[in-house]
Amino acid sequence: MQLNRIILAPMEGVLDYYVRQILTEINQFDYCVTEFVRVTQHKLSNRTFYRLCPELYNEGKTLSGTPVRVQLLGQSPEWMAENAIKALELGSYGIDINFGCPAKTVVGSHGGAYLLQYPDQIFNIVTQVRTAIGAIPILSVKIRLGWDDKSRCYEIAEAIEQAGANEIIIHGRTKTDGYKAEKIDWSTIGKIKQKLTIPVIANGEIFSIADAQNCLTQSQTNDIMLGRGILNIPNLANKIRFKHSPLNWQEVMQLLLRYAMTPIEDAKPLYHSARIKQWLAYLRQNYPQASILIPEIRQLKSQNEICNFLKTKLDNKSN
Under the criterion CB under 6 A, does residue 146 sit at the interface with ligand FMN? no
CB of 263: closest distance to ligand FMN in angstroms? 24
DSSP H helices, the chain, are 17-26, 46-52, 77-89, 104-108, 119-133, 153-162, 186-195, 209-219, 228-232, 236-242, 249-261, 271-283, 288-298, 303-316
Per rule CB under 6 A, is residue 211 in the interface with ligand FMN? no
Among 3, 5, 12, 38, binds ligand FMN (CB under 6 A): 12
Distance CA 61, CA 79 (A): 25
Q: How far is the CB of 278 from ligand FMN (least distance, A)?
A: 9
Helix (H, G, I), strand (E, B) or coil at 31: strand
* CB-based burial label for 158 (10 Å; 0-12, 13-18, 19+): middle
C-alpha–C-alpha distance, residues 232 and 236, integer Å: 8
Residue 11 in the binding site for ligand FMN (CB under 6 A):
yes
d(CA 238, CA 244): 6
CB-nearer residue toward ligand FMN: 74 or 100: 100
Is 228 annotated as ligand-binding?
A: yes
Q: Which member of 10, 67, 119, 137 binds ligand FMN (CB under 6 A)?
A: 10
Nearer to ligand FMN, 240 or 260 (CB): 240
Count interface residues toward ligand FMN (CB under 6 A).
Answer: 22
Based on the shown chain and the rule CB under 6 A, indicate whether residue 177 belongs to the binding site for ligand FMN: no
Virtual torsion, Cα 210, 216, 222, 223, nearest 10 deg: -70
Can you say whether the dihedral through the CA atoms of 245, 239, 24, 211 is positive or negative?
Answer: negative
Nearest of 103, 120, 121 to residue 112 by alpha carbon: 103
- Report the C-alpha gap between 219 and 189 in whole angstroms: 5
Residue 242 burial (C-beta neighbours within 10 Å; 0-12, 13-18, 19+) = exposed
Q: Does 142 belong to an annotated binding site?
A: yes
Applying CB under 6 A, which part among 46-54, 127-135, 148-156, 224-232 lies near ligand FMN? 224-232
Beta-carbon contacts of residue 104 (< 8 Å; ≥ 6 apart): none
User: 101 an active-site residue?
Assistant: yes
Our finding on whether 141 is near ligand FMN (CB under 6 A) is: no
Least Å distance between CB 6 and ligand FMN? 11
Q: Among residues 161, 205, 211, 223, which is the contact residue for ligand FMN, using CB under 6 A?
A: 205
Using the contact rule CB under 6 A, the part of the chain among 81-89, 95-103, 151-159, 299-307 near ligand FMN is 95-103
Residue 203 makes contact with ligand FMN by CB under 6 A: yes
Q: Which of 32, 101, 215, 307 is catalytic?
A: 101
User: Which residues of the chain form contacts with ligand FMN (CB under 6 A)?
Assistant: 9-14, 35-36, 71, 98, 100-101, 142, 171, 203-206, 226-229
Q: Which residues are catalytic?
A: 101
Q: Give the residue numbers of the binding site for FMN.
A: 71, 142, 171, 203-205, 227-228
Q: Binding site: residue ranges?
A: 71, 142, 171, 203-205, 227-228
